[in-house]
Amino acid sequence: MRHQRVINHLGRTSSHRKAMLANMASSLIIHKRITTTTAKAKALRTYVEPLITKSKEDSTHSRRMVFSYLKDKEAVAELFREVSPKVAERPGGYTRILKIGNRIGDNADMCILELVDYNENMLKGEVAKAKTTRRKRPTKKKTEDVTENVTAAKTAKTKSKKSEEKAAEANETIEESAKEE
């Protein structure tokens, strides 16, 4: 049984798989987007995202570690020069998988794997939205503000009910005085 065997071997030997993922990661970093099968894209995501995280710290050690995975000087230079400053604020999730249907020849499930901060079409939509971060529990100050708002709303409702009752009483007295005349 394959219990806790999380790596997808992709039908390749270990050396072939490592070479293929290094080549695909270099292409992704240089071109910012590649078209591949969904299985390869999911395997590549787990391969390339730790490398992007390592590139946030530009040191000789991190460059050598990334080069040991990519084996391409141009890709390493591109990663540290252009990609890492752009993703410096992002706490992870540097890639996006967009499914595009099945391949005609063998009906394989195809997708586009791209770096998130380089898709101009989706960035236009994100500019309109406010930048959201991870949710946190509300602090005491926020809960106090909420309770104050709730109590203020309740008092406003009771005041409006009282003013409606006074207006109804005034209308009744006006009607009674009109009947007496």
| pLDDT tens digits for range 19-58 | 999 999 999 999 999 999 999 999 999 999 999 999 999 9
Q: Where are the domains of the chain?
A: 14-128, 136-181
Residue keyed to tokens 């080549």: 23
Say which CATH class 14-128 falls into: alpha beta
pLDDT at 156: 65
Tell me what pLDDT residue 151 has.
67
The pTM for the full model equals 0.68
> In this predicted structure, what is the pLDDT of residue 168?
73
Give the pLDDT of residue 131: 58
Residue 122 has a pLDDT of 77
Mean pLDDT per block of 10 residues along the chain (181 residues) reads 89 97 97 97 97 96 97 96 94 96 96 92 68 64 62 64 69 68 59
